[in-house]
Amino acid sequence: MNARTIDHATLHVPTDGLEDARAFYGDALGFDLAGVERFEAGETPFFDVRLTPEHLLHLWPTEEFAEPDGTGYDHLALVVEEGIEAITAELNAAGVEIERRLENPVGATGRAPAVYVRDPFGYRVELKEPVEG
CATH number at residue 96: 3.10.180.10
The answer on 92 and 52 residing in a single domain is no
**Does some domain include residue 54?**
yes
pLDDT digits (tens, 9 = 90+) for 21-67: 999 999 999 999 999 999 999 999 999 999 999 999 999 999 999 98
Of the chain, the percentage scoring pLDDT greater than 90 comes to: 80
Report H helices in 29-95: 36-40, 84-93
Host domain of residue 92: 75-128
What is the pTM assigned to this prediction? Answer: 0.89
Higher pLDDT, residue 25 or 3? 25
Other C-beta atoms closer than 10 Å to the C-beta of 96 total 20
Any domain includes 1: no
**What's the structural domain count of the chain?**
2
